[in-house]
Amino acid sequence: MALRRVAITGVGLITAVGVGRDETWDGLINGRSGIGPITSFDTEGYRTTFGAEVKDFDPTTVMDLKNARKADRYSQFAVCAAQEAFDQADLGEFDPERAGVVIGSGIGGMHTFEEQHRKLIARGPSRVSPMFIPMMIGDMASGLVSIHLGFKGPNYSTVSACASGGHAIGVSYQHIANGDADIMIAGGAEASVCPMALAGFSSLKALSANNDNPTKASRPFDKDRDGFVLGEGAGVVVLEDMDRAVARGATIIAEFAGFGMTGDAYHMTQPDNSGTGAFNAMKRAMELGGIKSEDVGYINAHGTSTHFNDKIESGAIRRLFGSHADDMAVSSTKSMMGHLLGAAGGVECGVIALALQKGILPPTINYETPDPECDLFYCPNEAVKKQATAALSNSFGFGGHNVSLAVKAWKE
């Protein structure tokens, strides 16, 4: 059976750079950092004291107060981003049995877990909320989005650490391409700027410790990078059967063209030095989408600002694209909005769709000292005006999970 083509007709974004798609996009193309000292809890004694927090977020603009109180912060992000994407898609009448939801999260309701654990220790088991389990579990963002929008088709969550959002979009594409659904809400949500996550990643020495200058801390591909910055938020796209979208006269943002996923089978936290998993994920996404190397004008890199990831990813790109790598633009928007963990792939897929639609490629800010081991063009410090034919979004997660998403510019 021939695979059905898939359109992207809606994007919803909530990041530290901005609450909403337009505010986030404006911040990214203008190189605005959303990183600063953490304000939601006391960071005294922590190795790292800053992060990329979502500020001025009010879930009751979308959810009623009662339902918002019964949802962890990561689920609130998911519902609000999904509503924004849904509104933009303007789907008209649709069969709810043919509309599904897949929202990935690497950690789930960590705020709820911490809060209820404190109650358990301080006041005993009887004081733990009956809502603890449904608020904490990692599939609840997908569940609440489906309830909120009335989508009754495929519904579940993907969990693959920092590749979770990318996996969610990739498998959602498969549901439409294979005829299982006509519409999918897909992406990632994470709310892990909290004491335990900050302490854990700090102990792992994965985070930047540039406490004196947080806005300069996330510096992907720069020789002086010293770790990633913990972020939070959500990124959601509406995927739709292309024939349906065209027939109803939808505004098509871009075409979702391909999905590649691999495993490193190498190490719990460190990527394979050969970069083979990343290489094969990108190669598979392009093959599935019928995309030639010379068609790819932009890659939104995983680009975490860690020593191993940045050089290994750069090497995999160089190996795959050969001489064309010198004609491509690569950037890491994590330099501005931090690393959203399981939400990263959802946000960054939305970003490449907007980049193709608008002909503007977001920069990598804080790029000051080139690293000989990272030898690509990283859109240093300023957005690049370029109409790319196709773009990739890469997401790699602890456990050796690799995802690459391929998107094509839409031409009527």
Query: Which residue out of 302, 349, 374, 401 is catalytically annotated?
Result: 302
Burial 4-39 (b: 16+ CB within 10 A, else e): ebbbbbbbbbbbbbbbbbebbbebbbebbbbbbebe
- Asked whether 228 and 334 are in contact (CB, 8 A), the reply is yes
Instruction: State phi, psi for 329 to the nearest 5 degrees.
Output: -105, 135
DSSP class of residue 9 equals E
Cα–Cα separations (whole angstroms), residue 151 to 5, 67, 116, 172, 343: 21, 18, 31, 13, 21
Instruction: State phi, psi for 238 to the nearest 5 degrees.
Output: -100, 120
Map 81-145 to HEC letters.
Answer: HHHHHHHHHCCCCCCHHHEEEEEECCCCCHHHHHHHHHHHHHHCHHHCCCCHHHHHCCCHHHHHH
Which residues lie closer than 8 Å to 332 by C-beta, 6 or more apart?
Answer: 220, 221, 300, 301, 302, 303, 304, 305, 364, 378
SS3 23: helix
Instruction: State phi, psi for 46 to the nearest 5 degrees.
Output: -85, 145
Radius of gyration of the chain (CA): 20
For 194-256, give the DSSP string: SHHHHHHHHHTT-B---TT-GGGT--TTBTT---B-BBEEEEEEEEEEHHHHHHTT----EEE
Instruction: State phi, psi for 391 to the nearest 5 degrees.
Output: -145, 155
Query: Which residue out of 148, 339, 374, 379 is catalytically annotated?
Result: 339
Q: At what angle do helices 110-123 and 195-203 cross, to 10 degrees?
A: 100
Q: How far is CA 215 from the centre of its chain?
A: 20
Q: How far apart are CA 25 and CA 19, in angstroms?
A: 10
For 93, the token pair is 């009448």
Clarify whether 162 is annotated catalytic: yes
Clarify whether 117 is annotated catalytic: no
Query: Which residue out of 80, 162, 194, 374 is catalytically annotated?
Result: 162
Clarify whether 302 is annotated catalytic: yes
Known catalytic residues are 162, 302, 339
